[in-house]
Structure 1
Amino acid sequence: MSQITIRPIDIRNISDDDAKASHELRVALAAERTPDDPAPKWEDTQAQLQSIPTFVDVWVWFVEQEGKTLGTADLGVMRADENQHLAQFSIKLLPETRRQGLGKLLLKEIVAVAEAENRTLLMTDTASTVPSGAAFLERVGATVGLESHVNQLKLAEIPGGLLDTWTSDLADGFTPGLWEGPYPEESIEEILQLFDIFNTVPRGELQVDDFKLTLEQLRQQEESRAKRGVERWSLYVRDNETGKIAGFTELMWNPHKPTFAHQGITAVWPQYRGKRLGRWLKAELLKKLVAERPNVTIVRTENADSNDAMLKINTELGFKPYLAELVWQVPTETVKGYLG
């Protein structure tokens, strides 16, 4: 391909023209990855570009030919005490431009930054609807660290009476509570501890360490969602005897995708499992969604294929696989070898 240029982008100060080019590329790639969904809206792209948390550093490159954006690449590193060996990246190219060496050119830029940041492991993901991504990563020498699915629930297909049945009896000794919007300051330390449950979720062969969410990171995540207009409900149950929160679940709704809701983390501390708390939490929050967001018709969530306990609950609710996702990992040195 002639007259190809790789141009770095200052993503936190992106120009209007580059933001629009990024949006056009996002629309084209979304049509391939999720062809049944409505196209991403410009307002949502704008909000995402303006709401990157400061504890994440991101490098972005455009690959261009005669002024046309053919694709993009990015590399992100989290400024945290944990997983300082890790960097996450993506390469996204228009279908007609693939297998022409552009991915390799972008990968050179990614590796150069990863080395400068002392990141020895690179991680990315692919979707079953875009098989070229997996084929490219296999050539690079990456391996699959986790198999997962985006699972989808059509609310109209929930078995009749199921939500009422699941919520008819909360296990003895527990009291529910609800947080809408930002988490309250008076419970913030306990809330931060709740996210430690996520470290008990199966993560396959991924070479990642446990992650400890900090207050600053949590508040920045909330600020980022607020800029995008995303609303979050968090439902929890508290052990009456100890006062400890036993588990919680989250639902999020983006006004730019008004017919969709996203099921976030659902987690119960190991000592409270077996009491059907996860079932109660998810069903109760779905009842609230049906009552208060009548325009929502679909709920999506991501689950590791090895997370049998959560998949059992989701399957009984009516969740079905929507698309398969693979999380890949590859040592930076392996990528250098591929690049020659």
Structure 2
Amino acid sequence: MTSDLTRTVNVSVVDPVTLDLPERLESARLAADCFAVAAPHDPPVVVAARAEGLAHRDADDGSRLVRAHLDGRLVGQASLEYSLTQNTDQCHLDVSVHPDVRRRGLGRLLAREAARVALQEGRVTYNAATTSRVPAGEAFARRLGARDGLHMLISELPLAQLDAALLDRWVTRPDADLYALRTFTRVPDEELERVAAVLGVMNTAPRGALEFDDWVVTPAMVRHWQDTMHATGERTLMLVAEHLPGGTFVGYTEVFWHPQRAVLVQQGATAVHPAHRRHGLGRWLKAALLQALPEHNPQAQRVRTGNADSNAAMLGINRELGFAPAFTRDEWQGDTRMLLGHATA
């Protein structure tokens, strides 16, 4: 291990929405450098989009950045994000250290300083994520005393290998079907309430050992998320299943991509309300979206998705479609107060 940096860096705590554009670009470039090492075969982070995202925050959310500069250069940062109205004892923590200065104590320093800020906000529990693409992340999380709460399998589907006949079978529905699909690239105002309600179905997804209260999705949240995506240039395609007799949305699936890295499409959630399962809605939604994707993103080559390894139903659907394991992701949960002690070890 090389020399300790903790006595020579300048640490500051800022509200990211107050940063000017050069400062936001600085943070975004650090994220891009870290991502390039972790995922050298993925399209690079779009720095301008990442910087623009830092300028947008929902009124019900809070965030802070703990930034570490060395000789005027940003070499590390810890991001804290939290809701002001829900799960108010918790926060999400992400620690990034530039590859050039790792293993010199900076990650522990950032975690400790982030813990101080989190505790000032009453956040006694933190959540974090690591992937198998950066094995040191798991070791770091364990060293800080976090517990592994949810193990996820990240899988990829090469679109060139899609079975068109399979998709046709899955989108074939019975006569007098009780369900219909709706397609959104931007949720219209008059549908915000129904979309917010169906997004709440994700509260039924496997949580592993993670402990938190159900999240309530509001129409204002949906509009904020969509406005932020528009501001950063990100595109989205969402399909929802409507139960015609009830006039409610009962299932959905969505994907995201940025035009500058359009070859890789990120699959968001796919969920069906428990009362409407076993009607083929999950397969229908996934297949119909994959059939519609080329029209909206003709450059797409791969779709990437993540599922809890305990979610046998969705993993089965993805395997039938041709998704294959790419790497793993772990969701961690820990006591924020422990960071103050473990981060100095």
2:329 pairs with 1:325 = yes
2:71 pairs with 1:51 = no
Corresponding pairs, count? 339
The match for 2:19 among 4, 14, 17 is 14
The match for 1:132 is: 136
The match for 2:292 among 282, 288, 294 is 288
The letter for the 1-side match of 2:16 is: I
Matches of 1:246 and 1:24 in 2, distance apart? 40
2:146 pairs with 1:142 = yes
The match for 2:80 among 64, 70, 75 is 75
Give the C-alpha shift of residue 167 in structure 1.
1.3
- TM-score for both structures, normalised by structure 2: 0.91
The letter for the 1-side match of 2:240 is: Y
Matches of 2:313 and 2:299 in 1, distance apart? 30
- Stretch moving more, 162-171 or 315-324: 162-171
Give the C-alpha shift of residue 51 in structure 1.
2.6
Matches of 1:318 and 1:170 in 2, distance apart? 25
Matches of 1:76 and 1:239 in 2, distance apart? 35
Matches of 1:52 and 1:180 in 2, distance apart? 23
- TM-score for both structures, normalised by structure 1: 0.93
Give the C-alpha shift of residue 170 in structure 1.
5.0
Matches of 1:311 and 1:222 in 2, distance apart? 28
Q: Say whether the 8 Å CA contact 1:171–1:275 is kept in structure 2.
A: no
Q: Which runs of 5+ in 1 are unaligned?
A: none
Matches of 2:175 and 2:12 in 1, distance apart? 58
Matches of 1:93 and 1:124 in 2, distance apart? 15
- Stretch moving more, 157-166 or 306-315: 157-166
| Change in 2 beyond 3 A, CA 1:188/1:170 | farther
1:85-121 Cα distance to aligned partner (Å, 9 max, x none):
1011111112342232212211221111111111110
The letter for the 2-side match of 1:36 is: H
Q: Say whether the 8 Å CA contact 2:264–2:300 is kept in structure 1.
A: yes
The match for 1:33 is: 38
The match for 1:270 among 262, 270, 274 is 274
Matches of 1:239 and 1:217 in 2, distance apart? 23
Question: What is the Cα-based RMSD across aligned positions, in Å?
Answer: 1.9
Q: Say whether the 8 Å CA contact 1:54–1:220 is kept in structure 2.
A: no
Matches of 1:174 and 1:137 in 2, distance apart? 47
Q: Say whether the 8 Å CA contact 1:171–1:276 is kept in structure 2.
A: no
Give the C-alpha shift of residue 263 in structure 1.
1.7
The match for 2:313 among 309, 315, 326 is 309
The letter for the 2-side match of 1:215 is: P
2:211 pairs with 1:211 = no
Q: Say whether the 8 Å CA contact 2:149–2:208 is kept in structure 1.
A: yes
Report the identity percentage: 31
The match for 1:250 is: 254
2:115 pairs with 1:111 = yes
- Stretch moving more, 12-21 or 85-94: 12-21
- Stretch moving more, 26-35 or 45-54: 45-54
Matches of 1:7 and 1:170 in 2, distance apart? 60
Matches of 2:173 and 2:181 in 1, distance apart? 15
The letter for the 1-side match of 2:261 is: K
The letter for the 2-side match of 1:58 is: S
Give the C-alpha shift of residue 64 in structure 1.
1.9
The match for 1:196 is: 200
Matches of 1:83 and 1:24 in 2, distance apart? 31
| Change in 2 beyond 3 A, CA 1:170/1:112 | farther
Q: Say whether the 8 Å CA contact 2:257–2:266 is kept in structure 1.
A: yes
Give the C-alpha shift of residue 307 in structure 1.
1.2
Q: What secondary structure is seen at the aligned counterpart in 1 of 2:227?
A: helix
